[in-house]
Chain A
Amino acid sequence: MFDAITKYLSSATTPGEAGSIFWATIYILIITAGISLSVIAMNWLERKILAHMQIRLGPMRVGPHGLLQPFADALKLLIKEDIIPAEADKLVFWSAPVVVTMTAFTTFLVVPFGRTHAVTDMNIGILFMLGVSSLGVLGIIMAGWSSNSHYPLMGSLRSSAQMVSYEIAMGLAIICAVLMTSLQTGTGTLSMIGIVEAQASQHTWFIFKFFPLGFLAFGVFAIAMVAETNRAPFDLPEAESELVAGFHTEYSGFRWSLFFLAEYAAMLAVSSIAVTLWLGGWMRPFPNWLSGSIWNLAFSLFPALTLFVLAGLCLLGTARMPKIPQMKIQTVGLGIFGLLLGFIGLVLIIPGVRERVQDIYWFVVKVAFFMYMYIWYRGTFPRYRFDQLMKVGWKVLLPTGLAVLIATALWGLLPQISSAIVGVLP
């Protein structure tokens, strides 16, 4: 048993490529659990960060600094009465959240958290991801239609129109990145792992390639992905002040929490695409500039260091908790949480673990950056109106995407073009 684990851990392929169903299953379970956990963490972080941007404190009561609030909420949602409107189409109403959640989670099959940390490496990985994630809109339409109510209907109509139109701009931006894998090297790929490896072999993240074209394509994607996931300032389908809660107005309890889960999973999924395509996936920063074994070691210590810092913050918080009897449990809890984080940090220093975990770490850090941006946008911007949203999609992003695509292609073909011109010239 132990041998099998060590043997597997030392292999250099994903379980999908190795054909190991057992390991693939384990990976899927880990990823599902991990996504759910990060959605819970996101929930807490979003509340806290948004609250602090709005000069509030956010959750403070359930657990130290509200750390247990998402769990309390999840529990509340699970034991809440499950209401299906009398006039709703029961079957469709029932299956809509399932469809949304399934598609959101399925996309993670091909997300490479590291060279070996993916369920499988499909040669059409990016297409698979786009295809499956755009199926999610089906669930939203189903939810809106089956609720048999005006607000959800309008929400779902908005949502479907929005997702369809932004998918195009998103696709154009993705084509740019895919083109970059092949241009001037001749070996193009659609595989998610292949794209990251192309960035490694070209010694550049695609965001910096063909500057400013890579950056522009990334920009188009970064805007389109916010719209695609229905988040502020493009959160029209669930525009609270207009449509109450949009397509999930009639949902409550567990079904509502599935929508919530799916929304955040979708955010994580599109952020992973962005990270993979433009920000070098699991690669650590500055591989060219700060190279050498010393730097490798230093960067591989980052995960442990981060956990130590977090543990330190927790312990600091423990020391600064108000010293009154009512807060005693919370203080102790925070202290234990800090120690736990510190212990995990210690585990991550062990050499074997260190090397394997750092890929995941860098990937997660980059995704976390996008998540922060999501929250930051939400805290700052007003909401677009529906027609303006369409205008941005079709009249700004689409032409920009097309222009960048053509420019990228021309730039990539520059050597051939110039040699052709030289050949024609006498």
Chain B
Amino acid sequence: MSLKPLLRKLFLVDLIKGLKVTFNYQAPSEAITEQYPLERPVIFERFRGQPRLNSNPDTGESLCIVCNLCALACPEQLIVVKGERNPTTKRKEVVSWTYDLSRCMFCGLCAEACSTDALELTQDYEMALYTREGMVLDQAALERGQEPKRYEK
């Protein structure tokens, strides 16, 4: 063994190098922890989260034309859309629209399939519930979107 590696070994250079790294990281400014309920994470625009049914902002009518494309596109077959043709306006209108959140994997295929941008996966992500009840969303819940819950002890 030549001298330099021997000396490096004797003076524990390898270990001290590692110790230096961990020591330098101790500064509180290096910490990357996000204190979740107090600090909100940044959610980007394309995030696929809580589903929402959009309605026309001017008239308040649902944008959904009951074409059933979303239900067909969904691999989990968790969307059930039932509609009826309105005899006066000759438009199909939603009778029942359910979305089973508990089985959704947020792949986004349904929103991609929707021809009118009625169904959209939004940036809300706090969808956890204590029970399975309430996981099946109906049209009203989907249009309302998520009500943000404040963090309280």
A and B touch in the complex (CB under 8 A): yes
Q: Does B152 contact A (CB under 8 A)?
A: yes
CB distance from A72 to the nearest CB of B (A): 14
Q: Tell me if A53 and B22 are in contact (CB < 8 A).
A: yes
**Contact B151–A326 (Cβ < 8 Å):** yes
Q: How large is the interface on B (under 10, 10 to 19, 20 to 34, 35 or more residues)?
A: 10 to 19
Name which residue of chain B comes closest to A325, CB basis: B152
Contacting residue for B25 out of A53, A60, A326, CB 8 A: A53
Q: A52-B25, A53-B25, A376-B23 are in contact. Are A381 and B32 (CB under 8 A)?
A: no
Min CB gap A22→B, angstroms:
45
Given known A326-B151, A326-B152, contact A55–B25 (CB-CB < 8 A) = yes
CB of B35 to closest CB in A, whole Å? 6
State which residues 1-52 of B face A: CB under 8 Å: 15, 18-19, 21-23, 25-28, 30-33, 35, 38
How far apart are A418's CB and chain B's nearest CB, in angstroms? 30
Residues on A with beta carbons closer than 8 Å to the beta carbon of B15: 380-381
Q: Would you call B18 and A380 a contact (CB within 8 A)? A: yes
Assembly CA distance A54 to B151 (angstroms): 27
- Interface pair B35/A52, CB less than 8 Å apart: no
Q: Whole-angstrom distance between the alpha carbons of A379 and B27 in the complex?
A: 15
Instruction: Tell me the chain A residues, 166-193 only, with Cβ under 8 Å from chain B.
Output: none
Inter-chain contact B31/A380, CB cutoff 8 Å: no
Is B31 touching A52 in the complex (CB atoms < 8 A)? yes
Q: B22 — which chain A residues lie within 8 A by C-beta?
A: 53, 376, 379-380
Query: B48 → chain A, closest Cβ, in Å?
Result: 28
Q: Could you tell me the distance in whole angstroms from the C-beta of B51 to the nearest C-beta in chain A?
A: 31
Q: How far is the CB of B29 from chain A (nearest CB, A)?
A: 10
A379 to B20, CA, bound (A): 11
- Interface flags, A41-56, vs B, CB<8A=1, else 0: 0000000010111111
Known contacts: A324-B38, A326-B151. The answer to whether A55 contacts B30 by CB under 8 A is yes
Q: Are B31 and A56 in contact (CB under 8 A)?
A: yes
Q: How distant is the Cα of A381 from the Cα of B21 in the complex, in angstroms?
A: 11
Cβ A326 vs Cβ B153 within 8 A: yes
Q: Is A57 an interface residue (CB 8 A)?
A: yes
In the complex, what's the smallest C-beta–C-beta distance from B105 to chain A, in angstroms? 30
Q: How far is the CA of A207 from the CA of B30 in the complex (A)?
A: 35
> Is A322 part of the binding interface, using a Cβ–Cβ cutoff of 8 Å?
yes
A60: chain B residues at CB < 8 Å are 33, 35
Tell me the bound Cα distance from A179 to B49 in angstroms. Answer: 72
Number of A residues whose C-beta is below 8 Å from B?
A: 16
CB-CB under 8 A from B35, the residues of chain A are 57, 60
Cα A326 to Cα B37 with chains together (Å): 11
Query: What does the 1/0 interface line of A32-44 toward B look like (CB < 8 Å)?
Result: 0000000000000
> How many whole Å from B81's CB to the nearest CB in chain A?
42
Q: Report how far A380 CA is from B26 CA in the complex, Å.
A: 12
Q: Tell me the bound Cα distance from A240 to B62 in angstroms.
A: 56
Chain B 76-120, CB-CB to A under 8 Å as 1, else 0, gives: 000000000000000000000000000000000000000000000
Minimum CB–CB distance from B27 to chain A (whole Å) comes to: 8
Query: Are A53 and B31 in contact, CB atoms less than 8 angstroms apart?
Result: no
Contact A322 B38 (CB under 8 A): yes
Residues of B within 8 A of A56 (CB): 31-33
B33 pairs with A53, CB closer than 8 A? no
Which A residues are in CB contact (< 8 Å) with B30?
A: 52, 55
| Nearest chain B CB to A233 CB, angstrom units | 9
Contacts of A51 in B (CB 8 A): 31
A330 → B minimal CB distance (Å): 11
Q: Are B18 and A381 interface neighbours, CB within 8 A?
A: yes
| B28 closest partner in A (C-beta) | A52
List chain A residues, Cβ under 8 A from B38: 322, 324, 326
A404 vs chain B, min Cβ distance (A): 15
Contacts of A379 in B (CB 8 A): 22
CB pair B153 A52 closer than 8 Å: no
A-B contact pairs, 30 of them (CB 8 A): A51-B31, A52-B25, A52-B26, A52-B27, A52-B28, A52-B30, A53-B22, A53-B23, A53-B25, A53-B26, A55-B25, A55-B30, A55-B31, A55-B33, A56-B31, A56-B33, A57-B31, A57-B33, A57-B35, A60-B33, A324-B38, A326-B38, A326-B152, A326-B153, A376-B19, A379-B22, A380-B15, A380-B22, A381-B15, A381-B18
Chain B residues in contact with chain A, CB under 8 A?
15, 18-19, 21-23, 25-28, 30-33, 35, 38, 151-153
Which 7 pairs of residues, A with B, have the shortest CB-CB distance? Answer: A57-B33, A53-B22, A52-B26, A380-B22, A380-B18, A379-B22, A55-B30
- Known A60-B33, A380-B19; further 17 A-B contacts with Cβ < 8 A: A49-B26, A51-B31, A52-B26, A52-B28, A52-B31, A53-B23, A53-B26, A55-B25, A55-B33, A56-B33, A57-B33, A324-B38, A326-B151, A326-B152, A376-B19, A376-B22, A381-B15
